[in-house]
Amino acid sequence: MTTSVLRDPTAETAALKRQRLNPPADLDDKVVGLMDIGKMRGDEFIDRLEELFNERNIETRRYKKPTNTRTAPAELIQQIVQESDVVVIALSDCGSCTSCSTHDLNDLDHLGIPGISILTEEFKEAFAGQCEKIGFDGASIFTPHPMQNKTTKELHEFADNIIDELLTKITHTN
Amino acid sequence: MNGNHVNGELLLFLKQDCETCQLVKPVVGELVNKGVPIQVYVQDDPNYYRDLSPLDDTSLKASFNWNIETTPTLIQTSGNGHSVRIEGWDKSGWQKLFGRKSLGSTLPDFRPGCGSKSREPGVYENLVANYGDSGIEAREITLGKWEDEMETCYERGWTDGLPVTPPTDARIWKMLQGTSRNPNEIIGKVPPNLAPITVEKAAINAVMAGCKPEYFPVVLTVLEAALDPIFTMHGLLCTTCFSSPIIVVNGPIAKSIGMNWGMNALGQGNRANATIGRALQLIIRNVGGGIPGDLDRSTLGGPGKFTFCFAEDETDPTWESLSVSRGFAEGENAVTLFQGDGIQGFIDQRSQTPEQITKSLASSLLAVGNPKLAEFTNALLVLSPEHYEIYKKEGWGRSKITEALHQEMARPGSELIQGANGIGEGIDPLRVDEMVNKFWPEGLLIVRAGGQAGLFSAICAGWTGGRFRHESQPVTKKIMV
């Protein structure tokens, strides 16, 4: 494979990146899909996120990718589309999982499910780079890196620390 | 041409797959052995000419930079830009250039060369893209190493739902060779965003649609016709109706570029028909921003919104073509754009006289839009060869057929006014005592097309915007090749 350069067929009045779907104004009667990309310890972080959503009377549904090293199977994407209104994808802390989960975020957005990806701070640039390449203005939140050597309590604290930002980003346009 | 070379240098471009190159090989060997400094470039197999210490030009970069069209080509460089160039084998020319009267004396006087590999189909445009200046100014989209070009086009929202040809520089440059127009020339503003479109942007979208360069003059004329204010492309795009541009191509260019006016002319399977119409739709989408569900508000849409383009059958001299009927000269290339819907099939396998088939066609044409609407839309009738034959054998041509159809479609206003026959739809009740025509005199366009067998014609209903008789009309434009 070689790097290709295509030329923009549009009027070039818009940014190169496709804007993500507008999230809903609020989460009343909405289902938040919590998609575990399958990295070790990620489930502990998501457990706490689930608690935090449920404490706020927000319905959640859990999903798990078979492996973080590939994009989600079409069946899983379709299941999320059928069952959830918004998706939270977590927790990417490596190159391949960042790339694959960004594609998942993009694929779900194409199918009408706005979402957000949670990654560790080390992969801020990787996420931005992948968004750049696929032309998608994906939403993200970052937690400290590394996360795999943290205690469960610390991972729960990561979740506690981002919940307000998360709620804001999945219920507001900006 | 190439700044790295000094005055008087000798360059020779060869390829193994060239009999003339092989013929001159011993001659060049003799010169090299005598210390004549010739730099040999080989386009395909440098090993074959290894005794000549050649440079590998399998990339064809040097051949491109020196604009080589033939092998062998011998060049004596010159600082003033007037280098000596001998293509093929020319004994006296070589003898004169090297000042050796006996050079190649056993060889024939002349041998033409072969085409340079840099000029083979599909090669030159890639060399322009890689080593030259394509002049393309559109924003670059750089893909990742493992990104799929086709998928990227989908991701970016550039397609109509079907795959597009990825717009690379080589393809765009080649498309631009299909016209003499300047790539920077602005053709007009494309609705709904009224974004200016250049010839280059049109070329990019024509590439994506799958057009060949020889279609491009037609695409540009189609675009000009669509952007003519009287065509009302803006309204046609944003309408809740089904309609979109239907393109009819007239003139010898239709045959030159291989368009279909025969069997399945309104259907799939012909590249020119399919891609010329699609290019316009992609331009409207990509440049104009006409995205379905966004500003394209069609309630149901229609398959014609992918593409709807065909040529008229001009093989029968008794039939006056659509463009001629609209004021263009016979033999002139032209496109006509009609704002219309998909087809309504017209079946009549029993009428035998012009009068019968006229009544039959008229009764079907009355259904356009709604049988109770009149002077509300236009219509395009695609008359098949067998139906035309019924007219032809009695000497009826376009004008007589058109006139007879209009007469046949005139009806008492009392049958058409709103509420009449228990139907709410209808014409203004004030016209109750008039005889009302279905279409304005200019509102029925007839095109002859279709396979030789089949008593089936087609009616394309016009867009409701056509009710503004003087504000929205079909447009015919001459194609500037």
pLDDT at B465: 86
Nearest CA in chain A to B158: A9
Q: Do A3 and B289 touch (CB under 8 A)?
A: no
Q: Give the C-alpha distances (Å, rounded to integers) separating B430 from A53, B216, B410, B468.
A: 66, 50, 17, 19
* Assigned domain for B138 exists: no
CA–CA min distance B175, chain A (Å): 13
Dihedral angle of Cα A82, A84, A90, A92, to the nearest 10 degrees: 40
Boundaries of domain holding B342: 241-266+308-478
Chain B residues within an 8 Å CB radius of A135: 141, 152, 155-156
CA–CA min distance A22, chain B (Å): 15
pLDDT at B86: 96
**B69 token code pair:** 């069209």
Cis peptide leading into residue B192 (ω within 30°): yes
* Assigned domain for B351 exists: yes
Q: Residue A2: which pLDDT band, with cuts at 50, 70 and 90?
A: low
pLDDT at B7: 64
Q: Do B141 and A6 touch (CB under 8 A)?
A: yes
Question: B229 — phi, psi (to 5°)?
Answer: -50, -35
Which residue in the set A2, A9, A136 is minimally distant from B158, CB to CB? A9
Q: What is the biggest distance separating any 2 CA atoms in chain B, rounded to whole angstroms?
A: 105
The pLDDT tens digits of the residues spanning B182-201 come to: 999 999 999 988 899 999 99
pLDDT at B176: 98
pLDDT at A129: 86
Closest to B435 measured CA to CA, from B461, B463, B452, B416: B416
Nearest CA in chain A to B200: A9
The pLDDT tens digits of the residues spanning B202-214 come to: 999 999 999 999 9
Residue A74: CB atoms within 10 A of its CB come to 9
**A143 token code pair:** 């937690």
Cα distance between residue B166 and residue A6, in whole Å: 7
Number of domains in chain B: 2
Q: Do B141 and A5 touch (CB under 8 A)?
A: yes
Q: Same domain for B114 and B251?
A: no
Helical (H) or strand (E) element with B409 = helix B398-409
Dihedral angle of Cα A88, A93, A95, A98, to the nearest 10 degrees: 10
A contact residues 78-137, partner B, Cβ 8 Å cutoff: 106, 133-136
* Assigned domain for B141 exists: no
pLDDT at B467: 85
- Amino acid identity for residue B360 in this structure: S
Q: Do B193 and A106 touch (CB under 8 A)?
A: no
| Cβ within 8 Å of residue B3, ≥6 positions away | none
Average pLDDT, chain B: 95
Answer whether residue B340 shows pLDDT above 80.
Answer: yes
- Measure the CA angle with vertex B212, ends B209 and B214; round to 5°: 130
CATH numbers and ranges of domains, chain A: 26-169 (3.40.50.10140)
| Cβ within 8 Å of residue B33, ≥6 positions away | none
Q: Residue B239: which pLDDT band, with cuts at 50, 70 and 90?
A: confident
Answer whether residue B2 shows pLDDT above 70.
Answer: no
Q: What is the DSSP letter of B369?
A: S
Q: Do B190 and A8 touch (CB under 8 A)?
A: no
B39 close to B65: Cβ distance less than 8 angstroms = no
Closest to B272 measured CA to CA, from B216, B211, B226: B211
Query: Chain B within 8 Å of A28 (Cβ-Cβ)?
Result: no
- Amino acid identity for residue A69 in this structure: T
CA–CA min distance B277, chain A (Å): 17
* Assigned domain for B217 exists: no
CA–CA min distance A34, chain B (Å): 24
* Assigned domain for B468 exists: yes
Answer whether residue A71 shows pLDDT above 90.
Answer: no
Q: Same domain for B398 and B252?
A: yes
Tell me which residues of chain B have a C-beta less than 8 Å from any C-beta of chain A: 136, 138-147, 149, 152-153, 155-158, 166-169, 172, 190, 193, 195-197, 201, 204-205, 208, 282, 286-289
Q: Do A3 and B144 touch (CB under 8 A)?
A: yes
ipTM of this model?
0.85
Q: Do A6 and B153 touch (CB under 8 A)?
A: yes
* Assigned domain for B229 exists: no
Where helices occur in chain A by DSSP H, the ranges are 42-55, 74-83, 95-110, 124-134, 152-169
pLDDT above 90 covers a percentage of chain B that reads 88
Q: Which residues of B308-337 are buried (b: 16+ CB within 10 A; e: fewer)?
A: bbbbbbbeeeebebbbbbeebeeebbbbbb
CA–CA min distance A8, chain B (Å): 5
Q: Residue B145: which pLDDT band, with cuts at 50, 70 and 90?
A: confident
A88 close to A33: Cβ distance less than 8 angstroms = yes
Where helices occur in B124-215 by DSSP H, the ranges are 124-131, 149-155, 169-176, 199-209
pLDDT at B381: 98
Answer whether residue A174 shows pLDDT above 50.
Answer: no
Among residues B105, B120, B135, the one where a domain terminates is B120
B441 close to B388: Cβ distance less than 8 angstroms = no
Query: Chain B within 8 Å of A1 (Cβ-Cβ)?
Result: yes
pLDDT at B193: 87
B411 close to B364: Cβ distance less than 8 angstroms = no
pLDDT at A68: 85
Q: Mean pLDDT throughout B372-393? A: 97
pLDDT above 70 covers a percentage of chain B that reads 99
Answer whether residue B41 shows pLDDT above 60.
Answer: yes
pLDDT at A3: 64
Chain B residues within an 8 Å CB radius of A16: 139, 141
Which residue in the set A8, A11, A106 is minimally distant from B141, CB to CB? A8
Closest to B222 measured CA to CA, from B279, B262, B180: B279
Q: Do A11 and B167 touch (CB under 8 A)?
A: no
The pLDDT tens digits of the residues spanning B14-30 come to: 999 999 999 999 999 99
Among residues B120, B145, B169, the one where a domain terminates is B120
Q: Mean pLDDT throughout A72-99? A: 93
Chain B residues within an 8 Å CB radius of A106: 155
* Assigned domain for B356 exists: yes
Dihedral angle of Cα B459, B465, B471, B472, to the nearest 10 degrees: -40
Chain B residues within an 8 Å CB radius of A12: 138-139
Question: What are the contacts of B119-124 at 24+ separation with CB within 8 A?
Answer: B119/B68, B119/B69, B123/B60, B124/B64
3-state secondary structure of B211: coil
The helix/strand count (H/E) of chain B reads as 16, 21
Q: Same domain for B337 and B470?
A: yes
Q: Do B138 and A134 touch (CB under 8 A)?
A: no
pLDDT at A172: 77
Gyration radius (Cα) of chain B, Å: 30
Phi-psi region of B206 (alpha: psi -120 to 50; beta: other; left: phi over 0): alpha
| Cβ within 8 Å of residue A110, ≥6 positions away | none
Strand segments, DSSP code E, in B43-185 are 55-56, 70-71, 73-76, 84-87, 89-90, 110-111, 114-115, 140-142
Chain A residues within an 8 Å CB radius of B157: 18
Distance from the Cα of residue B334 to its chain's centroid:
12
Q: Residue A18: which pLDDT band, with cuts at 50, 70 and 90?
A: confident
pTM of the model: 0.85
Chain A residues within an 8 Å CB radius of B208: 9
Q: Do B204 and A9 touch (CB under 8 A)?
A: yes
Q: Residue B1: which pLDDT band, with cuts at 50, 70 and 90?
A: very low
3-state secondary structure of B282: helix
Cα distance between residue B90 and residue B77, in whole Å: 18
Query: Chain B within 8 Å of A15 (Cβ-Cβ)?
Result: no
B153 close to B164: Cβ distance less than 8 angstroms = yes
Which residue in the set A4, A9, A16 is minimally distant from B286, CB to CB? A9
Nearest CA in chain B to A19: B156
CATH classification at residue B80: 3.40.30.10
Closest to A71 measured CA to CA, from A22, A35, A33: A35
pLDDT at A29: 95
Among residues B70, B98, B120, the one where a domain terminates is B120
Q: Mean pLDDT throughout B233-249? A: 90
Chain A residues within an 8 Å CB radius of B288: 11
Query: Chain B within 8 Å of A9 (Cβ-Cβ)?
Result: yes
Q: Mean pLDDT throughout B412-441? A: 97
Closest to B43 measured CA to CA, from B30, B54, B28, B27: B54
Answer whether residue B87 shows pLDDT above 70.
Answer: yes
* Assigned domain for B113 exists: yes
pLDDT at A107: 93
pLDDT at B399: 97
pLDDT at B4: 47
Chain B residues within an 8 Å CB radius of A7: 136, 138-141, 167-169, 172, 204
